[in-house]
Amino acid sequence: MGLEFQNKSGLVVYVTCGDPDMETTRHVVLEAIDAGADVIELGMPFSDPVADGPVIQRASERALKQGTRLEDVLTLAAEVRRRRPEAGLIIFSYLNPILRMGVPKFCATAEEAGLDGALVTDLPVEEAAEYLREMRERHLAAVFLAAPTSPADRLKAIAKSSSGFVYAVARTGITGARSEFPPEARELVARIRRHTKLPVAVGFGIATPEQFASAGSFADAVVVGSAIVETIERSAGREAEAVGAFVRGLLRGRG
Protein backbone atom coordinates (compact mmCIF):
# COMPACT_ATOMS: atom_id res chain seq x y z
CA MET A 1 0.00 0.00 0.00
CA GLY A 2 1.44 3.34 -0.99
CA LEU A 3 2.47 5.57 -3.86
CA GLU A 4 6.04 4.40 -4.21
CA PHE A 5 7.33 3.48 -7.64
CA GLN A 6 9.55 0.43 -7.33
CA ASN A 7 10.46 0.24 -11.01
CA LYS A 8 12.64 2.52 -13.07
CA SER A 9 9.51 3.98 -14.65
CA GLY A 10 6.27 3.43 -12.77
CA LEU A 11 2.88 3.14 -14.43
CA VAL A 12 -0.18 5.06 -13.25
CA VAL A 13 -3.43 3.87 -14.87
CA TYR A 14 -6.57 6.03 -14.94
CA VAL A 15 -10.06 4.52 -15.24
CA THR A 16 -13.45 6.25 -15.25
CA CYS A 17 -15.39 4.47 -12.53
CA GLY A 18 -18.79 3.19 -13.57
CA ASP A 19 -17.94 2.92 -17.27
CA PRO A 20 -19.67 0.83 -18.44
CA ASP A 21 -20.66 -0.22 -14.89
CA MET A 22 -19.01 -0.57 -11.48
CA GLU A 23 -18.62 -4.35 -11.67
CA THR A 24 -16.68 -4.03 -14.92
CA THR A 25 -14.58 -1.22 -13.43
CA ARG A 26 -13.64 -3.49 -10.53
CA HIS A 27 -12.51 -6.25 -12.90
CA VAL A 28 -10.57 -3.75 -15.04
CA VAL A 29 -8.77 -2.27 -12.03
CA LEU A 30 -7.78 -5.65 -10.61
CA GLU A 31 -6.55 -6.81 -14.02
CA ALA A 32 -4.54 -3.59 -14.52
CA ILE A 33 -2.86 -4.11 -11.13
CA ASP A 34 -2.10 -7.75 -11.90
CA ALA A 35 -0.68 -6.73 -15.30
CA GLY A 36 1.82 -4.41 -13.61
CA ALA A 37 0.24 -1.01 -12.92
CA ASP A 38 1.83 0.60 -9.85
CA VAL A 39 -0.92 3.12 -9.09
CA ILE A 40 -4.59 3.26 -10.10
CA GLU A 41 -6.40 6.57 -10.46
CA LEU A 42 -10.07 5.90 -9.74
CA GLY A 43 -11.75 8.58 -11.84
CA MET A 44 -14.94 10.10 -10.50
CA PRO A 45 -17.21 10.84 -13.49
CA PHE A 46 -18.25 14.46 -13.74
CA SER A 47 -20.91 16.21 -15.81
CA ASP A 48 -18.64 19.03 -17.03
CA PRO A 49 -15.12 17.59 -17.32
CA VAL A 50 -13.50 20.69 -18.83
CA ALA A 51 -9.94 19.30 -18.79
CA ASP A 52 -10.89 16.01 -20.42
CA GLY A 53 -11.01 15.12 -24.08
CA PRO A 54 -13.84 13.36 -25.92
CA VAL A 55 -12.86 9.82 -24.88
CA ILE A 56 -13.09 10.53 -21.15
CA GLN A 57 -16.09 12.81 -21.65
CA ARG A 58 -17.98 9.92 -23.26
CA ALA A 59 -16.91 7.61 -20.44
CA SER A 60 -18.15 10.10 -17.83
CA GLU A 61 -21.50 10.36 -19.62
CA ARG A 62 -21.90 6.57 -19.64
CA ALA A 63 -20.92 6.30 -15.98
CA LEU A 64 -23.28 9.07 -14.90
CA LYS A 65 -26.13 7.35 -16.72
CA GLN A 66 -25.38 4.38 -14.47
CA GLY A 67 -25.89 6.67 -11.48
CA THR A 68 -22.27 6.50 -10.34
CA ARG A 69 -21.68 8.55 -7.18
CA LEU A 70 -18.59 9.44 -5.18
CA GLU A 71 -19.80 7.03 -2.49
CA ASP A 72 -19.69 4.23 -5.07
CA VAL A 73 -16.12 5.07 -6.01
CA LEU A 74 -15.07 5.03 -2.36
CA THR A 75 -16.78 1.65 -1.90
CA LEU A 76 -14.92 0.33 -4.94
CA ALA A 77 -11.65 1.61 -3.49
CA ALA A 78 -12.27 -0.35 -0.29
CA GLU A 79 -13.00 -3.51 -2.30
CA VAL A 80 -9.82 -3.13 -4.36
CA ARG A 81 -7.77 -2.44 -1.25
CA ARG A 82 -8.99 -5.66 0.37
CA ARG A 83 -8.14 -7.70 -2.71
CA ARG A 84 -4.89 -5.98 -3.71
CA PRO A 85 -3.42 -4.58 -0.48
CA GLU A 86 -0.12 -3.48 -2.03
CA ALA A 87 -1.53 -1.46 -4.92
CA GLY A 88 -1.30 2.33 -5.02
CA LEU A 89 -4.81 3.81 -5.08
CA ILE A 90 -5.91 7.40 -5.47
CA ILE A 91 -9.18 9.08 -6.38
CA PHE A 92 -9.11 11.45 -9.34
CA SER A 93 -12.00 13.92 -9.12
CA TYR A 94 -13.21 17.38 -9.82
CA LEU A 95 -13.87 19.45 -6.71
CA ASN A 96 -17.67 19.66 -6.87
CA PRO A 97 -18.47 16.03 -5.87
CA ILE A 98 -16.09 16.35 -2.91
CA LEU A 99 -17.67 19.62 -1.78
CA ARG A 100 -21.11 18.02 -2.01
CA MET A 101 -19.98 15.21 0.27
CA GLY A 102 -18.04 17.61 2.48
CA VAL A 103 -14.25 17.72 2.60
CA PRO A 104 -13.94 16.28 6.14
CA LYS A 105 -16.29 13.38 5.35
CA PHE A 106 -14.57 12.69 2.06
CA CYS A 107 -11.14 12.53 3.70
CA ALA A 108 -12.39 10.36 6.57
CA THR A 109 -14.11 7.95 4.20
CA ALA A 110 -11.10 7.84 1.90
CA GLU A 111 -8.87 6.90 4.82
CA GLU A 112 -11.32 4.21 5.95
CA ALA A 113 -11.43 2.82 2.40
CA GLY A 114 -7.66 2.43 2.37
CA LEU A 115 -6.96 5.01 -0.31
CA ASP A 116 -3.47 6.46 -0.53
CA GLY A 117 -4.58 9.89 -1.64
CA ALA A 118 -6.47 12.02 -4.13
CA LEU A 119 -5.98 14.35 -7.06
CA VAL A 120 -8.57 17.12 -7.39
CA THR A 121 -8.03 18.38 -10.89
CA ASP A 122 -9.69 21.81 -10.61
CA LEU A 123 -8.59 22.71 -7.06
CA PRO A 124 -5.87 25.40 -7.26
CA VAL A 125 -3.13 24.94 -4.72
CA GLU A 126 -3.73 28.54 -3.58
CA GLU A 127 -7.27 27.62 -2.45
CA ALA A 128 -6.51 24.21 -0.95
CA ALA A 129 -5.86 25.05 2.72
CA GLU A 130 -8.88 23.22 4.21
CA TYR A 131 -8.43 20.27 1.88
CA LEU A 132 -4.73 19.97 2.71
CA ARG A 133 -5.40 20.19 6.43
CA GLU A 134 -7.96 17.38 6.29
CA MET A 135 -5.84 15.24 3.97
CA ARG A 136 -2.78 15.52 6.22
CA GLU A 137 -4.84 14.72 9.30
CA ARG A 138 -5.96 11.51 7.59
CA HIS A 139 -2.45 10.66 6.30
CA LEU A 140 -3.58 10.93 2.68
CA ALA A 141 -1.41 12.12 -0.19
CA ALA A 142 -2.53 15.29 -1.95
CA VAL A 143 -1.40 15.08 -5.58
CA PHE A 144 -1.41 18.31 -7.58
CA LEU A 145 -1.10 19.03 -11.29
CA ALA A 146 1.75 21.10 -12.71
CA ALA A 147 1.53 22.45 -16.26
CA PRO A 148 4.15 23.65 -18.75
CA THR A 149 2.69 27.14 -18.37
CA SER A 150 3.15 27.19 -14.56
CA PRO A 151 5.61 29.93 -13.51
CA ALA A 152 8.43 29.12 -11.10
CA ASP A 153 6.71 30.50 -8.00
CA ARG A 154 3.60 28.42 -8.69
CA LEU A 155 5.65 25.27 -9.28
CA LYS A 156 7.33 25.88 -5.94
CA ALA A 157 3.93 26.19 -4.21
CA ILE A 158 2.66 23.03 -5.93
CA ALA A 159 5.78 21.11 -4.91
CA LYS A 160 5.52 22.32 -1.31
CA SER A 161 1.86 21.30 -0.99
CA SER A 162 2.10 17.99 -2.84
CA SER A 163 2.61 14.59 -1.29
CA GLY A 164 2.84 11.16 -2.87
CA PHE A 165 3.94 12.45 -6.27
CA VAL A 166 3.58 15.46 -8.53
CA TYR A 167 1.60 15.04 -11.75
CA ALA A 168 3.34 16.85 -14.62
CA VAL A 169 0.89 17.64 -17.42
CA ALA A 170 2.87 16.96 -20.57
CA ARG A 171 1.03 19.53 -22.67
CA THR A 172 -1.57 22.24 -22.45
CA GLY A 173 -5.11 21.58 -23.62
CA ILE A 174 -7.40 18.59 -23.06
CA THR A 175 -6.56 14.96 -22.47
CA GLY A 176 -6.31 12.46 -25.28
CA ALA A 177 -3.83 10.20 -26.99
CA ARG A 178 -1.45 11.98 -29.38
CA SER A 179 0.97 10.70 -31.99
CA GLU A 180 3.92 12.80 -30.82
CA PHE A 181 5.31 13.36 -27.34
CA PRO A 182 5.84 17.06 -26.54
CA PRO A 183 9.44 18.19 -25.87
CA GLU A 184 8.28 20.63 -23.17
CA ALA A 185 7.40 17.68 -20.91
CA ARG A 186 11.06 16.89 -20.20
CA GLU A 187 11.73 20.53 -19.32
CA LEU A 188 8.71 20.64 -17.00
CA VAL A 189 9.86 17.55 -15.09
CA ALA A 190 13.30 19.13 -14.62
CA ARG A 191 11.70 22.37 -13.39
CA ILE A 192 9.57 20.50 -10.85
CA ARG A 193 12.59 18.60 -9.56
CA ARG A 194 14.25 21.87 -8.61
CA HIS A 195 11.62 22.22 -5.90
CA THR A 196 10.93 18.69 -4.60
CA LYS A 197 12.36 15.22 -4.08
CA LEU A 198 8.92 13.66 -4.64
CA PRO A 199 8.50 11.36 -7.65
CA VAL A 200 7.25 13.12 -10.77
CA ALA A 201 4.69 11.39 -12.97
CA VAL A 202 4.12 12.67 -16.49
CA GLY A 203 0.86 12.24 -18.38
CA PHE A 204 -1.59 13.49 -21.04
CA GLY A 205 -1.57 11.65 -24.34
CA ILE A 206 0.64 8.61 -23.73
CA ALA A 207 -0.66 5.59 -25.62
CA THR A 208 2.19 3.44 -26.97
CA PRO A 209 5.12 1.43 -25.55
CA GLU A 210 7.47 3.82 -27.35
CA GLN A 211 5.87 6.88 -25.71
CA PHE A 212 5.93 5.09 -22.36
CA ALA A 213 9.63 4.36 -22.74
CA SER A 214 10.35 7.93 -23.84
CA ALA A 215 8.51 9.47 -20.88
CA GLY A 216 9.97 6.91 -18.48
CA SER A 217 13.47 7.93 -19.50
CA PHE A 218 13.10 11.27 -17.71
CA ALA A 219 10.12 10.88 -15.31
CA ASP A 220 9.66 8.60 -12.32
CA ALA A 221 6.27 7.42 -13.55
CA VAL A 222 3.98 7.66 -16.56
CA VAL A 223 0.23 8.27 -16.42
CA VAL A 224 -1.96 6.59 -19.04
CA GLY A 225 -5.64 7.55 -19.12
CA SER A 226 -7.40 8.17 -22.42
CA ALA A 227 -5.78 5.16 -24.07
CA ILE A 228 -7.04 2.91 -21.24
CA VAL A 229 -10.55 4.40 -21.36
CA GLU A 230 -10.62 4.02 -25.15
CA THR A 231 -9.56 0.37 -24.81
CA ILE A 232 -12.51 -0.18 -22.47
CA GLU A 233 -14.86 1.62 -24.86
CA ARG A 234 -14.01 -0.56 -27.84
CA SER A 235 -13.82 -3.90 -25.96
CA ALA A 236 -17.40 -4.52 -24.86
CA GLY A 237 -17.69 -7.79 -22.98
CA ARG A 238 -13.93 -8.26 -22.62
CA GLU A 239 -12.87 -4.97 -21.05
CA ALA A 240 -10.64 -6.35 -18.29
CA GLU A 241 -8.86 -8.77 -20.62
CA ALA A 242 -8.23 -6.01 -23.14
CA VAL A 243 -6.89 -3.59 -20.53
CA GLY A 244 -4.61 -6.26 -19.08
CA ALA A 245 -3.16 -6.94 -22.52
CA PHE A 246 -2.75 -3.22 -23.19
CA VAL A 247 -0.93 -2.64 -19.88
CA ARG A 248 1.42 -5.56 -20.45
CA GLY A 249 2.14 -4.21 -23.93
CA LEU A 250 2.96 -0.78 -22.53
CA LEU A 251 5.29 -2.21 -19.95
CA ARG A 252 7.37 -3.90 -22.61
CA GLY A 253 8.68 -0.39 -23.11
CA ARG A 254 9.92 -0.20 -19.53
CA GLY A 255 13.66 0.12 -19.35
The answer to whether position 96 is within a domain reads yes
Which residue out of 19, 31, 38, 41 is catalytically annotated?
Answer: 41
pTM of the model: 0.93
Q: Print the domain residue range for 99.
A: 10-140+215-251
112 is catalytic: no
The answer to whether position 197 is within a domain reads no
pLDDT tens for each residue of 3-46 = 878 767 899 999 999 999 999 999 999 999 999 999 999 999 98
- CA 171 to mean position of chain CA atoms: 16
Of 48, 53, 145, the residue nearest 92 (C-alpha): 145
52 is catalytic: yes
In this structure, what DSSP letter does residue 19 have?
S
Task: List beta partners, residue 100.
Answer: none
What CATH number is attached to the domain comprising 26? Answer: 3.20.20.70
The answer to whether position 113 is within a domain reads yes
Q: Average pLDDT for residues 59-68, to the nearest whole number?
A: 94
The answer to whether position 164 is within a domain reads no
The answer to whether position 191 is within a domain reads no
Which residue out of 52, 72, 220, 230 is catalytically annotated?
Answer: 52
- Domain tally for the chain? 1
Burial class (CB in 10 A: 0-12, 13-18, 19+), 130: exposed
Per-residue pLDDT at 255: 55
CA–CA separation, 241 vs 244, rounded Å? 5
Name residue 35's amino acid.
A
The answer to whether position 119 is within a domain reads yes
Mean pLDDT of the residues in the chain: 91
The answer to whether position 159 is within a domain reads no
The answer to whether position 107 is within a domain reads yes
